Structure 1
């Protein structure tokens, strides 16, 4: 299974905030064991990667598999007949969303897309909660949501172990379950309708391919990864590691884990002190990447190149202006939200749905940053990003 470091969930501004820095027992930001393959996970990469190969910016297939080894199906397989749509409208069905957090564009876009799809199908959304990435808060929110007796719950378990019992109670009460990005401990396909995810392994793989290209296919690189049992990041980290190791002239010299994003700066400080010749650093997502950038700036290391996952405004801006972050990969957020709603519709109809559904990864580099933004969010990139792109053509 994944690394056995347990996560202690705390509140945070944006994302994943847990207990002390996990890269070394002393908390000094030293290297720790690498991300490991999950049971039933994607096959390990083998052989050497050809230098100079272009990164596929529009993949049409999914690289990764589900937490139990399930083959991924694309969201396009989810369809409804006119008769089924009418049954939903006549059914007086209700839905509730239980989110781990709502403070980023990805989740806000997903939620909006899912709500609109359910509304069009005549399903009433009776509750939306935000646990601010705190497991105990989520457990309380699940209990209060169940007082409303929703027909289906669409949920992102913030801590697979801590929230498992609460979701078991939901299941026992007869409320259908659709999970987003993570599955509670002990749950197997058939005990929930579907898991909807981004292609986490594919995201990590593309981040490695972009890194290799940007550093000229040679040199020292490091990983700064999220050191907790969390399927989404475990898979993207594994995808990066297994892919970057295929390049014979690139040396992965350090794998430094963190459990608290507020401590990433300390991890990065130690990393740059030990490996002053680093050409590239990968971060599990874009917020920790910004802490790594701050560390690099503080010592005048302005030539290090970063790749990561997620497409926030700061990341898009840096990619467009050839800044520290030269590439990222991101979820197709709008498509995921629609898929979550469609899976919920399947659950309400008693229609069998694939147990694991996700769209392909979406790599982002300078040449496609505006297009990728539109693909991920189904809206135009903000004017400030368009202006930066035009200025740096």
Structure 2
């Protein structure tokens, strides 16, 4: 699938598979025996575990080590504090997914100003400049994910339907891109559909955001939730209301994959490729450390996942056999599927 989204400064993407090391760069990276810290919004999601696995694998193959992984718990203040600490700590580079925007910009700048390589995931805070404040951003094509989600939901929406969007309420480039693309596709291809929206500030509030949306729109006939963890809360809230709504989301976590495979409320998933993104971030970090200028926006395409291809897609994304709970999902009725 083509990469359709642009970077935070309007950059055209360079595909991640084009970022490769020369023999001389690989030798320099191994000789450097670099130490890297990874700063994540959370370490508890399926996405995070795969992203980290990709980084650790590729960095280890070049004699580099991930010496610390920081879980910010979606807290911007925690992230700012930890980045300031790492800026003065014994690491050569930091890979970080910025939470929010302006509030964490200065903390990220402190890393690069301390002479350490800084590679960002998905988002570049306002005012930070590529090649100056950070080496590059490595991301999934989030605009493409929003397009995939709209394409997957459309067949489940009748004419003149009302469809909801439940999105993250924090200023975050990746989730904004998904919503923009979802809306654009619907306007072009399903102008008969009316879109309504609510937002959540934390994952735990996603169910409440859906409840507000459903209370204000009793004719709701479909839903896009911006990623899988809030989607799990929305599924529970929808079932509590007795609603049988088709839902699409992003990220191929096990719970939503099982829901999709078992014919539950999830009808499609716009999947990222977190392991490959982690590999790309690791290679970009090593290249920055050995002095190669990098493209400012490195991206990977999304993957459309349906009930028909979910098991194969899960194995591709996770680089592992599908677990028994997923293989057995089609034998279960939807209410028996895990929703929390």
User: Does the pair score TM above 0.5?
Assistant: yes
- Matched ranges for 1:149-160 at <5 A: 149-160=90-101
- Provide the rounded CA distance (Å) in 2 between the counterparts of 1:124 and 1:334: 17
Residues 329 and 362 in structure 1, CA contact (< 8 A), matched pair in contact too:
yes
- Does the CA-based 8 Å contact 1:149-1:175 persist in structure 2? no
Q: Out of 248, 253, 265, which is 1:307 matched to?
A: 248
Q: 1:208 Cα shift?
A: 0.5
Which of 65-74 and 143-152 deviates more? 143-152
For residue 291 of structure 1, the aligned residue among 204, 223, 233 is: 233
Matched residue, 1:278: 220
**How far off its partner does 1:148 sit?**
3.1
Question: Which moved further from structure 2: 145-154 or 228-237?
Answer: 145-154
Distance 2:287 2:301 in 1: 22
**Alignment match, 1:200:** 142
Structure 1 residue 391 displacement after superposition: 6.8
Q: Is the 8 A contact 2:45 2:229 kept in 1?
A: no
Higher mean C-alpha displacement, 343-352 vs 284-293 = 284-293
Q: 1:261 to 1:114 in 2, by over 3 A?
A: closer
Deviations 1:123-146 (A, max 9, x none): 233322111121222222223323
Partners of 2:52 and 2:86 in 1: CA distance: 17
Q: Secondary structure at the match of 2:120?
A: strand
Q: CA deviation at 1:159?
A: 2.8
Q: State how 1:306-385 maps to structure 2 within 5 Å.
A: 306-385=247-326
Alignment match, 1:97: 38
Which 10-residue stretch deviates more, 284-293 or 204-213? 284-293
Contact 2:100–2:170 (CA under 8 A) maintained in structure 1:
no
For residue 345 of structure 1, report the CA deviation from its aligned partner.
Answer: 1.3
- Residue-by-residue CA offset, 1:156-184 (whole Å, 9 max, x unaligned): 12232222112222111111111111113
Asked if 1:239 corresponds to 2:181, the answer is yes
Q: CA RMSD in A?
A: 1.9
Change (3 A) 1:250 1:296: farther
Q: Unaligned 5+ residue runs, structure 1?
A: 1-58
Cα deviation, residue 88, structure 1: 1.3
More helix by share: 2
Cα distance between partner residues in 2 of 1:226 and 1:254? 14
Instruction: Find 2:193's aligned residue among 251, 263, 268.
Output: 251
Shift of 1:249: 5.9
Q: What TM-score does the superposition give when structure 2 sets the normalisation length?
A: 0.91
SS in 2 for 1:300: coil
State the alpha-carbon separation in 1 of the partners of residues 113 and 197 from structure 2. 42
Measured against aligned partners, the alpha-carbon deviations of 1:44-74 in whole angstroms (never above 9, x if no partner) come to xxxxxxxxxxxxxxx2x11111111011111
CA distance in 2, matches of 1:170, 1:368: 42
Shift in CA distance, 136/256, structure 1 to aligned 2, threshold 3 Å = closer
Once residues 217 and 372 of structure 1 are traced to their aligned partners in structure 2, the CA distance between those partners, rounded to angstroms, is 30
SS at match of 2:3: coil
Aligned twin of 1:186: 127
| TM-score normalised over the length of structure 1 | 0.80
